């Protein structure tokens, strides 16, 4: 009973502190979903270095996870955009969106939010550059599948489906849809974070893996691969790890790794970049998350 009371108190405290930011982020995401037209991407993102930077920035502000942006990424590929541009857009999307950046600021502070924004932008450009080089210099190495013949979508990630057109979208229905899609993952993340804080010993992390040693970085990066479920859930999990004694650097590495190399993101990415491309991306992103965590610890 004592643990149940402590869990409920921790859960309510976290939720109460963050709920206004969650609602604000959802409203901003809904406004972007209604007023930001996909035709902009199809018109301006053709290929080249500047195109990769634009693609990464656009992927960051588009609401929804990689599942929601997959149809646009497929559209870019069908329109002739190079693989670097498509990859920059596709892989920057789950790393930073209006909702997740607001929640990161609310739960983890402005330094984590600013570093996440920078990592998403640079990470998207860098992975795009790798794939652009492979596409141009190593033809045939990437077993890239043919573009899908029609637009596809999935449920549960803030992605609108059916035959609805952009012009028919209204703010309040989209806002409610975002709350429905992300609310359950938000609540689940809060519940897991609260349970970890209450049930695990306060010195567990520092005793067994250290707060900021090499083992802490490796464990944090690898831990994120199976844990991430959908957009935003990694943020309260990162908070719980910080409360358990994990240092800011490894915590930031976990934050990036959990969205960059999580199983759902990698499964969706394979549809566009192929199996070899997926292996290149996963290996590169684990190293990037590790390095970004080290750099964050120095700031």
In this predicted model, which residue has the larger pLDDT, 143 or 108? 108
Whether this prediction's pTM lies above 0.85 is answered by no
pLDDT of 171: 84
SS3 per-residue string spanning the chain: CHHHHHHHHHHHHHHHHHHHHHHHHHHHHHHHHHHCCHHHHHHHCCCCHHHHHHHHHHHHHCCCCHHHHHHHHHHHHHCCCCHHHHHHHHHHCCCCCHHHHHHHHHHHCHHHHHHHHHHHHHHHHHHHHHHHHHHHHCCCCCCCCCCCCCCCCCCCCCCCCCCCCHHHCCHHHHHHHHHHHHHHHHHHHHHHHHHHHHHCCCCHHHHHCCCCCHHHHHHHHHHHHHHCCCCCCHHHHHHHHHHCCCCHHHHHHHHHHHHHCCHHHHHHHHHHHHHHHHHHHHHHHHHHHHHHHHHHHHC
pLDDT at 118 over 90: yes
pLDDT of 135: 82
Q: How much is the average pLDDT of 40-56?
A: 73
Among 123-127, 184-188, 252-256, 285-289, where is mean pLDDT lowest?
184-188
pLDDT of 210: 65
pLDDT of 156: 43
pLDDT of 166: 46
Give 148-181 pLDDT, tens digit per residue: 544 444 444 444 444 444 446 788 888 888 777 6
pLDDT at 110 over 90: yes
Structure tokens at 271: 């549809």
Query: What is the C-alpha to C-alpha distance for residues 51 and 194, in angstroms, rounded to an integer?
Result: 42
In this predicted model, which residue has the larger pLDDT, 198 or 67? 198
Query: What is the C-alpha to C-alpha distance for residues 33 and 292, in angstroms, rounded to an integer?
Result: 30
Confidence of residue 292 (pLDDT cuts 50, 70, 90): very high
Sign of the torsion formed by the C-alpha atoms of 282, 125, 290 and 141: positive
For the chain, the straight-line distance linking the first and the last C-alpha, in angstroms and rounded, comes to 42
Domain ranges (residues) in the chain: 2-298
Among 131-140, 158-167, 185-194, where is mean pLDDT lowest?
158-167
Mean pLDDT of the chain: 76
Please name which of 228, 290, 247 lies closest in space to residue 65, comparing C-alpha atoms.
Answer: 228
CB count, 10 Å around CB of 298? 6
In this predicted model, which residue has the larger pLDDT, 188 or 209? 188
Give 230-286 pLDDT, tens digit per residue: 567 788 888 888 988 889 999 999 888 887 766 656 766 777 788 888 888 888 888
pLDDT at 16 over 50: yes
């Amino acid at each position: 009973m004592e643990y149940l009371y402590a869990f409920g108190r921790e859960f309510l405290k976290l939720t109460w502190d963050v709920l206004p930011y969650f609602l604000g982020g959802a409203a901003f995401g809904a406004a972007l979903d209604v007023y930001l037209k996909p035709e902009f991407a199809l018109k301006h993102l053709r290929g080249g270095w500047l195109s990769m930077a634009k693609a990464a920035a656009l992927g960051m502000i588009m609401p929804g996870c990689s599942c929601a942006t997959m149809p646009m990424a497929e559209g870019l590929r069908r329109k002739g955009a190079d693989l670097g541009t498509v990859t920059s857009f596709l892989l920057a999307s789950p790393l930073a969106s209006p909702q997740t950046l607001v929640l990161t600021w609310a739960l983890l502070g402005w330094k984590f939010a600013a570093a996440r924004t920078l990592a998403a932008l640079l990470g998207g450009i860098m992975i795009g550059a790798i794939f652009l080089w492979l596409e141009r210099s190593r033809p045939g190495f990437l077993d890239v599948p043919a573009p899908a013949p029609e637009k596809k979508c999935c449920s549960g990630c803030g992605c609108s489906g059916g035959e609805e057109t952009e012009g028919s979208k209204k703010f309040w229905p989209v806002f409610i849809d975002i709350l429905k899609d992300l609310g359950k993952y938000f609540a689940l993340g809060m519940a897991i974070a609260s349970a970890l804080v209450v049930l695990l010993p306060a010195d567990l992390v520092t005793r067994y893996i250290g707060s900021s040693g090499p083992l802490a970085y490796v464990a944090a990066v690898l831990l994120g691969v199976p844990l991430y479920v959908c957009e935003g859930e990694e943020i309260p999990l990162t908070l719980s790890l910080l409360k358990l004694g994990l240092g800011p650097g490894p915590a930031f590495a976990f934050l990036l790794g959990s969205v960059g190399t999580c199983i759902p993101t990698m499964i969706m990415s394979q549809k566009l970049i192929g199996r070899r491309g997926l292996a290149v991306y996963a290996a590169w992103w684990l190293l990037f998350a590790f390095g970004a965590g080290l750099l964050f610890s120095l700031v």
